[in-house]
Chain A
């Protein structure tokens, strides 16, 4: 699978900004270098999460459209 992750945050069924807030909570707990994948069924996450990742100075590994949901993969960079 493209964009393998160390930790998967399954936020499917949660609406904006639920998936982003779940990611924010998780990123605080992980070390620099950790790759996290957020699964979200809310289309706006595919736009909002990359925007936040850029602002917060992390690396966007990719946004992958799966069957009925998005998988947004990021690397904690600082």
Chain B
């Protein structure tokens, strides 16, 4: 019997496991293979929902599901923390046991590391995890006016467009509260434009100007003075704030770092087309965990999962694995509470954002509910 082990119960792990189960149903039933998904928690958080949660537009109950109800029933779910991958013996060790593998899929994601900027934990807010989003929701509801800084404090970070979206949504949030004239919104970004990609940067800068959202570029915070509410940058600037919404630096999981599978930044060196971990023929990486020059976004994990599942299934069936990932990414960009645009791109094709519209916004709102069908491998 061949063992396929997937580490991680987020988008990439769940989808890869479900696609494998669907492609290998006969082999699973005949016990020729076993698919095991190891997740540190028994629940999955739909992270894009946090952007809505901070404005009270989605409830926690809408963005959290038990993983056992998302997985194909033929998948063996293990709720346990993986502690080490032993590639020489092909075993994943966890706190409570060990799991040998013939094929391994690393879907261990990324996490925020606010501790990397001194003072940020004490002086800032963020919405990149549930705990941070809950606190920010309260801070926004109580905000009495003043200056809000939306500060990107390192790349790569999850959902590259979320800092832009939150800035647009803050504009509408305070407009609806009849407070927009009492709130200054400043967006900051580490490089010399407001976004990594030129076409998006141009559209966003134009919309920022229209909505009176200020922005500063080449802005790399090195310290937050929580007491005096100031951000100090590597460029020698100081910026005062009343509410700081930070996009903290991100890092890869401790598991890949401790197992010697990560580069200096904590990301897993991965072949950009086959998604195999460099140096291994039977180990794959999916989603945020990789070092690929693509967005750390759910859509990327989704499209990568299709490729990995197709290739592992082909190998098990004795067929040549011919699927390749071409950098396909799709992101909605909310431009406020009522309108959105979207971008689609891959390794060869740069994005061309379309004019924001209500229809695209409604599609995004619908997808926020439909995602649970994606997780199950249906949509």
Contacts and interface: CB of A to CB of B under 8 A. Distances in A.
Contact of B190 (A24, A28, A51, A78): A24
Interface string B207-237: 0000000000010101000000000001110
A63 to B, nearest CB: 16
B196 interface: yes
A52 B218 contact: yes
B77 interface: no
A48 B198 CA distance: 13
Contact of B192 (A15, A28, A48, A78): A48
Contacts of B196: 16-17
B155 interface: yes
Nearest to B222: A28
B191 interface: yes
B293 A24 contact: no
B326 to A, nearest CB: 15
A55 B293 contact: no
B293 A17 contact: no
Given A14-B293, A52-B192, A56-B218, A21 B154 contact: yes
A72 to B, nearest CB: 15
B235 A55 contact: yes
B293 A48 contact: no
A57 B235 contact: yes
Contacts of B222: 28
A60 interface: no
Contact of A56 (B154, B191, B235, B293): B235
Contacts of A17: 155, 190-191, 196
Contact of B234 (A18, A27, A51): A27
A15 B293 contact: yes
Given A14-B293, A52-B218, A24 B234 contact: yes
Chain A CB within 10 Å, residue with most, of B155, B190, B218, B236: B218
A20 interface: yes
Interface in A9-51: 14-18, 20-21, 24, 27-28, 48, 51
Main secondary structure of the interface of A (DSSP, over half): helix
Contacts of A28: 222, 234
Interface string B166-210: 000000000000000000000000111000100000000000000
Nearest to A51: B192
Nearest to A57: B236
Contacts of B220: 24
A21 B236 CA distance: 17
Contacts of B293: 14-15, 18
A55 B234 CA distance: 10
A20 B191 contact: yes
Nearest to A42: B293
Nearest to A20: B191
A13 B320 CA distance: 28
B254 to A, nearest CB: 20
Interface in B277-306: 293
Closest 4 CB pairs of A and B: A17-B191, A56-B235, A15-B293, A55-B218
Given A20-B191, A48-B191, 20 more contacts: A14-B293, A17-B155, A17-B191, A18-B293, A20-B190, A21-B154, A21-B155, A21-B190, A21-B191, A24-B234, A27-B234, A51-B192, A51-B218, A52-B191, A52-B192, A55-B235, A56-B234, A56-B236, A57-B235, A78-B236
15 contacts: A17-B155, A17-B190, A17-B191, A17-B196, A20-B190, A21-B154, A21-B190, A21-B191, A24-B190, A51-B192, A52-B191, A55-B235, A56-B218, A56-B235, A57-B236
